[in-house]
Amino acid sequence: MKKNRHIVIQSISFFTIAMLYLPLFGVAVFSVNSAKYGWVWKEFTLKWYTSLFSNEYILAAAWNTLVLAVVSTLISTLIGTLFAIGISRFPWGRKTDSFLDILLNFPVVIPDIVMAGSLVVVFALLRSVSDLFEAGLVTMIIGHITFQIAFVALVVRSRLVSIGTDIEEAARDLFASNWYLMRRIMLPLLLPGIVAGAMLAFTLSLDDFVISFFTSGPDSQTLPLYIYSAVRRGVTPQIHALSTLVVFITVILVVAAERISRKN
């Protein structure tokens, strides 16, 4: 009975994994198929990948995606790290600590469509104050920062919990200043968590569609937005190739972030 239950659990697990990854594998296979239309396999080719680098629209979308991901990741990593340190090390009261914990987890669990709709309303109000908040790359960066901060703070906070407070207390017993404690002790210990959080934030920015769609302008199209608009006109092998590259880069970043976090 126990053995049968084990087989059933394994079967369900393999079926779930297959449902998740077989479509991605199918996209990768057809990205190296020389047939331009239909589902018939002709021969292996890399011409769809090479054609990506001569498509000016894809190159422009890739540049926007890279700028958006890098800038939003740098800012969210700085704010998220400070936020995590402030929550974990300041002696808050029980109610305040609970409120900050809810505040930290809220952007993670809230549906993207709700956050995107909220950002649209906020930017509409801010546009009456300044033209800086016109839909475009700036509003997309702000939108991405709003959800990236929470993920960075959660990763860094978990690192703070694993470090504990004994080292900080020992440093203060030796008359270490706040600046020395932060620069020579805390930051080196937190660096693996900060890097893992930054890579996670970068990955989320690369793949984001909903918030980018609601906050983008006519000249700030990203790769997910380009893929969405191109698929509506018809799926081509070039889109398969572009999607495969995006997934491949995302997997590398996620695995690297997980390895860095586990190793340290």
CA 147 to chain CA centroid, Å, is: 9
Look at the block and give the residue holding tokens 């190296």. Answer: 32
User: Which DSSP category does 44 fall into?
Assistant: B
174-213 pLDDT tens trace: 777 777 777 778 888 888 889 889 988 998 998 899 999 9
Contact 138, 219 (CB under 8 A): no
pTM: 0.81
CATH fold of 45-263 reads: MetI-like fold (1.10.3720)
Q: Choose among 130, 113, 121: nearest CA to 210.
A: 113
Residue 260 pLDDT > 80, yes or no?
no
The whole-angstrom separation of Cα 182 and Cα 205 is 28
Contacts of 233 (CB under 8 A, 6+ apart): none
105-150 pLDDT tens trace: 888 888 889 999 999 999 999 988 888 888 889 999 999 999 999 9
Half-sphere exposure at residue 137, Cβ-oriented, CA atoms within 13 angstroms: 16
Helix (H) or strand (E) holding 145: helix 137-163
User: Region 71-95: what's the mean pLDDT?
Assistant: 88
2-57 pLDDT tens trace: 556 677 778 888 888 888 788 888 888 888 888 777 677 788 888 888 888 888 88
Separation in Å, CA 133 to CA 21, 29, 45, 70, 158 = 39, 42, 44, 20, 34
> Dihedral (C-alpha) 64, 105, 74, 72: value to the nearest 10 degrees?
20
56-77 pLDDT tens trace: 888 898 899 999 999 999 999 9
Residue 229 pLDDT > 90, yes or no?
no
Long-range contacts of 105-113 (CB under 8 A, 24+ apart): 105/150, 105/154, 106/150, 107/146, 107/147, 107/149, 107/150, 108/147, 108/150, 108/151, 108/154, 112/147, 112/208, 112/210, 112/211, 113/210
CA 203 to chain CA centroid, Å, is: 3
